[in-house]
């Protein structure tokens, strides 16, 4: 998505929303437009601020946040345009693109029928460091602990195999990676939840039963 002046954001948003029929999709679109307009306005104000260039921790931190927020304007638009059909995103506060929630609703495999929520927080030092992600839904999964820690290679800040985080990665990569933990990236050979992986190795049918029990209790 090309960068637009604030006035053009409003014009394009109005034209876009004008063709949408009333309903959930239109409501989601209006929320996203509100998010984009709010942040575009903030960035315009930031760009207009002139001040001393003296280096100090506070000013460095402010500049880093500004870099992050400018990246997020583009990346959130890219994410919305390329969201997997099994995923939904929600921004509780349109003023804070650096914090949002992801819901994954797998349509195949062990976890089909469940709704799994993640919180994603983008730190000030993004994109030099990865987002912080936690699973909010209790789950029986070899790569996610019952307390929400996640094993996903692209979220590793340091990786010797080259599959970890890099500044070339984006929020779209993070969301697609989390979505794939329920399908292609489901990994029993390199588990974080060793007990779940051993359970699957020992008795696949009983593992499936426990997954389904967790879905009924925690992921509806």
- Residues labelled catalytic: 151
Quick one: which of 74, 99, 76 has its CA closest to 28? 76
Question: Cα separations (Å) of 128 from 71, 124, 156, 160?
Answer: 12, 9, 12, 17
pLDDT, averaged per 10 consecutive residues of the chain (220 residues), comes to: 43 48 56 61 56 57 83 95 97 94 98 98 96 98 98 88 89 98 96 98 98 98
Q: Where are the domains of the chain?
A: 1-50, 72-218
**Domain 72-218: CATH architecture, name and number where available:** Roll (3.10)
pLDDT at residue 5, as a whole number = 42
Quick one: which of 82, 141, 81 has its CA closest to 116? 141
Cα dihedral sign, 127-129-130-136: negative
pLDDT at residue 141, as a whole number = 98
Beta pairing partners, 132:
121
């Amino acid at each position: 998505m090309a960068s637009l002046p604030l006035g053009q954001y409003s014009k394009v948003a109005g034209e876009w929303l004008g063709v949408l029929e009333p309903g959930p999709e239109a409501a989601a679109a209006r929320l996203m437009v509100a998010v984009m307009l709010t942040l575009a306005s903030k960035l315009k104000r930031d760009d207009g601020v002139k001040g001393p260039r003296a280096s100090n921790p506070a000013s460095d931190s402010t500049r880093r946040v500004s870099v992050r927020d400018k990246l997020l304007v583009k990346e959130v638009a890219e994410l919305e345009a390329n969201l997997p059909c099994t995923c939904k995103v929600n921004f509780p506060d349109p003023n804070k693109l650096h914090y949002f929630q992801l819901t994954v609703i797998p349509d195949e495999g062990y976890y089909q029928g469940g709704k799994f929520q993640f919180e994603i927080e983008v730190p000030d030092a993004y994109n030099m460091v990865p987002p912080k992600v936690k699973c909010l839904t209790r789950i029986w999964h070899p790569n996610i602990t019952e307390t929400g820690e996640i094993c996903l290679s692209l979220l590793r800040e340091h990786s010797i195999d080259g599959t970890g985080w890099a500044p070339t990665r984006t929020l779209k990569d993070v969301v697609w990676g989390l979505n794939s933990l329920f399908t292609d990236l489901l990994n029993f050979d390199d588990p974080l939840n060793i007990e779940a992986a051993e359970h699957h190795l020992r008795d696949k049918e009983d593992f499936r039963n426990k997954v389904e029990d967790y879905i009924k209790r925690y992921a509806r």
